[in-house]
Amino acid sequence: MDIKESPSGKVINALAGYQAFIPNPLPPKFEWDNALVKSLSRADHILGMLSREGAKLPNPHLLMRPFIAREAVLSSKIEGTQATLGEILAQEAGANVDRNPNDLQEVRNYIAALEYGLERLKSFPLSLQLLKEIHGKLMLGVRGSHATPGEFRRVQNWIGSPGCTINSAKYVPPTPGELMDCLYFFEKFLHDRTLPPLIHIALCHYQFEAIHPFLDGNGRIGRLLITLLLIERKLLSSPLLYLSAFFEATQSEYYTQLYNISSKGTWHDWFSYFLNGVALQSLDVLSRAEQINNLITGWQSSKTEGVASDIIRYLAVNPYFTIKRIVENLGVAFTTAQRAVMKLEDLGIVSQTSEGKRDRVYCATDILKILEGSLTPNTRLSDYDI
């Protein structure tokens, strides 16, 4: 392991002859300076704006679904999954998708795990038990399903370049013998309320990644943890904010930041990076949600009514659809749905994406472009200096 000593933890010699890192219990000692206070104030301000404005959006609950799917795709992409958002949404709509079924299943599992965690959180505290339950949903029937889904590891894991051994690994998390002590202190800190919420969440995410308590799926569970904490700490009333897009766009820096905390104790750098991600992603989500709502509002006023107008409203949930799904969702006759879709085609709102005349798949590509676009919020963070 590259780390030999650190202010953030201790390096121990395992009986098997390798070294492992044991992170210190949280919170760490760090100094508040003007830069950190400013970063926190800005992130809090913009996150609060997302919470307020998100509640005012015409369809905040409808918009949650595609953003959850987007988070699942980007978080899974960090782990090497190749499925795209368009493929996931198209498959949900009933289309046949030419993609490795395992990749699609991994993303679907992420969506199921997140939705399970959000629902469970309504009656059960965020805890080690809940994280194990979510892990069980995440790893069901996919790569790593052999790695004891829903159970903390009982053997050693490590992080490094493909094919590396434990002795050549860049980072080795706590040994199985030290794991439960680390998790005990981690869970204790999960319920700590002495620090500002965003600082608390940043610390929890790092600590979970440093402990790496599962044999597989740690990165995805660690990112799910951020969303669950945002909801539990009541920073958001609905899960509109996800940081996987920011982590994926800055992947090299993300891993460097996590490693540098373990090796050098660079807490300030991590806080600055994390808070910047919260601010950027909040603005990004607001921008995308507003663009989608503007499209839908414009379409509904452009000579659409009845079933055609109802279809437009559902495009916020999924821009892909089939006439069969319209019939099922709206409870209308097939010919009625068909006429409405033809009207939307004539207006240029939707277009057919499948070949042939049977089981046609349609898409509002303007909405898909908004959802799939890269991280480029319209508003600059400098406009929100506190």
- How does the average pLDDT of the chain come out, rounded? 89
Q: Hey, what amino acid is at 276?
A: N
Q: Is residue 219 part of an annotated ligand binding site?
A: yes
Higher pLDDT, 119 or 101: 119
Residue 22 has pLDDT above 60, yes or no: yes
* Contact between 47 and 284 (Cβ < 8 Å): no
**Radius of gyration of the chain from Cα atoms?**
23
Mean pLDDT to the nearest integer, 43-71: 80
| Cα 58 to Cα 240: distance, rounded to the nearest angstrom | 14
Model confidence at 101, pLDDT cuts 50, 70, 90, reads confident
Give the strand pairing for 9-13 and 19-23: antiparallel
* Contact between 315 and 327 (Cβ < 8 Å): no
Q: Is residue 212 part of an annotated ligand binding site?
A: yes
Model confidence at 8, pLDDT cuts 50, 70, 90, reads very high
Q: Is residue 223 part of an annotated ligand binding site?
A: yes
Say which range, 78-92, 174-188, 196-210, has the weakest mean pLDDT.
78-92
> By three-state DSSP, how is residue 77 classified?
helix
296-372 folds as Arc Repressor Mutant, subunit A (1.10.10)
* Contact between 228 and 126 (Cβ < 8 Å): yes
Say which range, 85-99, 212-226, 328-342, has the weakest mean pLDDT.
85-99
| Cα 186 to Cα 230: distance, rounded to the nearest angstrom | 17
Q: What is the DSSP string of 42-72?
A: HHHHHHHHHHHHHHHSS-HHHHHHHHHHHHH
Work out the number of other CB atoms within 10 angstroms of the CB of residue 111.
Answer: 20
> Which pLDDT does position 146 carry in this prediction?
67
> Which pLDDT does position 305 carry in this prediction?
81
Q: Is residue 216 part of an annotated ligand binding site?
A: yes
Q: Hey, what amino acid is at 88?
A: I
Residue 74 has pLDDT above 80, yes or no: yes
Q: Which residues are catalytic?
A: 212
Q: Is residue 191 part of an annotated ligand binding site?
A: no
> Which pLDDT does position 379 carry in this prediction?
46
Joined together, the tokens standing for residue 304 give 């659409």
The model's pTM is 0.90
Q: Which of 74-88, 143-157, 195-209, 302-316 has the highest mean pLDDT?
A: 195-209
> Which pLDDT does position 41 carry in this prediction?
96
Give the strand pairing for 9-13 and 351-352: unpaired
Joined together, the tokens standing for residue 223 give 């990112």
- Whether the upstream peptide bond of residue 27 has omega within 30° of 0, thus cis, is yes
Residue 16 has pLDDT above 90, yes or no: no
Place of tokens 């992170």: 23
> Which pLDDT does position 378 carry in this prediction?
45
Q: Which of 213, 218, 208 is nearest to 152 (CA)?
A: 213
pLDDT digits (tens, 9 = 90+) for 346-361: 999 999 987 767 778 9
Give the strand pairing for 351-352 and 19-23: unpaired
> Which pLDDT does position 317 carry in this prediction?
85
Residue 145 has pLDDT above 60, yes or no: no
DSSP label at residue 356: S
pLDDT digits (tens, 9 = 90+) for 160-172: 888 889 988 999 9
Residue 29 has pLDDT above 80, yes or no: yes
pLDDT digits (tens, 9 = 90+) for 291-327: 888 898 899 876 678 889 889 988 888 899 999 989 9
Joined together, the tokens standing for residue 303 give 């000579």
Mean pLDDT to the nearest integer, 261-278: 96
Q: Is residue 221 part of an annotated ligand binding site?
A: yes
Model confidence at 333, pLDDT cuts 50, 70, 90, reads very high
Model confidence at 377, pLDDT cuts 50, 70, 90, reads very low
| Cα 1 to Cα 167: distance, rounded to the nearest angstrom | 6
Q: Is residue 218 part of an annotated ligand binding site?
A: yes
Class of domain 9-288: mainly alpha
Q: Is residue 222 part of an annotated ligand binding site?
A: yes
Same fold, 9-288 and 296-372: no
Q: Is residue 217 part of an annotated ligand binding site?
A: yes
Q: Which of 364, 366, 358, 353 is nearest to 98 (CA)?
A: 353
Joined together, the tokens standing for residue 318 give 């999924």
Domains of the chain, residue spans:
9-288, 296-372
Higher pLDDT, 59 or 171: 171
Beta-carbon contacts of 250 under 8 Å, excluding residues fewer than 6 positions away, are 273, 277
> Which pLDDT does position 64 carry in this prediction?
78
> By three-state DSSP, how is residue 159 classified?
strand
